[in-house]
Amino acid sequence: MAKKNAPTIKDVARAAGVSVGTVSKVINGIAVRKESQRKVQEAIEALHYEVNTYARGLKISKSGLVALIVPNTMNPFYATFADHIEAALYEHSLKLILCCSDEIPEKELEYLNSAKQNKVDGIIALTYSDIGSHITDGTPIVVFDRFFENRSIPRVGSDNFTGACMAVEKLLELGCRHPVYIRFHSKFPGEADKRRDGYLYACQRHNLEPDYLDMVDDGTWREALGEFLERHKRPDGSLTFDGVFAHTDFHGYHFMKMLTENGYRVPEDVQLIGFDGIERFGTPGDYVISTMCQPVRQLAQKCVEIILLEDRSTVPSLTLLPVTYCYGGTTREPGR
């Protein structure tokens, strides 16, 4: 038996008793008489007519798609960011194309080129390479966190410097006398680098001797953390530090586990604050460690807001949003 052909826009017009032009206006959100709109919508439902969004996009130079490039979705922060980007796009009737680069520059460029070839309406990128030179003026793009040589590309990020200062000062407020800093970072510069600057500034401001582990994340962070811990043990087994500011919640959480496995109590012996605001299973307010929370939802909304602007010439090159301290069980909060 021959398969019945899918209904066309002409079939919808015939069923609704209106012109093809009227159907086209309804599909594209252009105002028509309410009675005509009702008839068209009923005909679309009755015939199970599906709009060819790709073909429609070619005609109106809009695809209704926005590409998001992230390193992966295994990291809870990236996954949460992607989720909020999708929600913000959906509010504007846009769909998300998710691209996971695995921190491979060549893969990022492949996704970038694919997005441009498919005429996406915009690109939001959290990348690990300088893709700025590959961006053309015709593709709206906003970058989260990273620095590009192409300074005309707007960037969105958190106020990492102030957040780091707040983390150190919170540890001091809660009784710490010697807070250390642990950092594993990308070889590509970004706004998050300012967390180190904030730690050093806070140490200087409070007359503290800086003490930190700072290295490129080459996959050997477990060994590096173990060596850092051993170097800070006194002959009697006690530690030379009583507070930790971790560059990310991820490494802060794993350092907390290492401390407890070595017999140290968190937060009784060592208090610890991370940076990001990762929640357990996405449960609001249930943080894996005490942390400086990035406003992920607002950051995502700001990225989408910039992408949708018709005129981005007035958008600042960098937009920073404030972070807040959130208790997660690894600090000695009064009354907890």
Alpha helices by DSSP H, 61-139 = 76-90, 105-117
Residue 310, pLDDT score: 80
Confidence (pLDDT) at 60: 47
Distances (CA, A) of 311 to 28, 92, 96, 157, 261: 23, 17, 22, 21, 55
Residues 6 or more apart whose Cβ sits within 8 Å of residue 233: 239, 240
What is the pLDDT at residue 141? Answer: 87
Please give the pLDDT value at position 1: 41
Domains in the chain, CATH or no CATH each: 9-51 (no CATH), 65-153 (3.40.50.2300), 160-295 (3.40.50.2300)
Q: What is the CA radius of gyration of the chain?
A: 26
Q: Please list, in sequence order, all residues whose beta carbon lies within 8 angstroms of the beta carbon of residue 68, skipping any fewer than 6 positions away.
A: 82, 85, 86, 96, 97, 98, 99, 123, 124, 125
Per residue in 47-70, pLDDT (tens digit) is: 888 766 555 554 545 678 899 999
Angle separating helix axes 76-90 and 296-308, nearest 10 degrees: 50
CA distance 208 to 187: 28
Query: What pTM did the predictor assign?
Result: 0.79
Question: Whole-angstrom Cα distance, residue 14 to residue 159?
Answer: 58
The stretches in the chain having pLDDT less than 70 are 1-4, 29, 51-62, 129-138, 148-151
